[in-house]
Structure 1
Amino acid sequence: MTTWEYSTVPLLTHSTTQILNTWGEEGWELVSVTQGPNPENLVAFLKRPLN
């Protein structure tokens, strides 16, 4: 059975792709995105297998 680790990451709307690509290069998979504390911010929920 796979064991996962999780992370939450604040996303800035002007650099969302760059931020997600950086985390993706480190093996993180995007699970969900939700609105942050204000409409200009998003929060990404990520997971990757725990080694």
Structure 2
Amino acid sequence: MKKWEYFTAPLLIHNTKQILDTFGEDGWELVQVVPGPNPENLVAYFKREKQS
């Protein structure tokens, strides 16, 4: 059975592509984006398979 690890990160609207590309290069898969504490911020939820 696969095991997963999870990570949340702030996602600034003006720099979205660069942030997502960086996490993708590290093996993180974007699961969901939700509104952050103010209108200029979002919160991104990521997952990746846990390495043994």
Please give the range of the TM-score, normalised by the shorter of the 2 chains: over 0.9
Partner of 2:36: 36
Percent of counterpart pairs with the same letter? Answer: 65
Runs of 4+ that moved beyond 6 A:
none
The count of corresponding residues between Structure 1 and Structure 2 is: 51
Unaligned runs of 5+ in 2: none
TM-score (normalizing by structure 2): 0.96
Distance in 1 of aligned mates of 2:7 and 2:50:
12
**Gaps in structure 1 of 5+ consecutive residues:** none
Q: Which residue of 2 aligns with 1:5?
A: 5
Summarize deviations over 1:6-38 as a string: whole Å, max 9, x none: 000101100011000000000000000000000
Provide the aligned C-alpha RMSD in A. 0.3
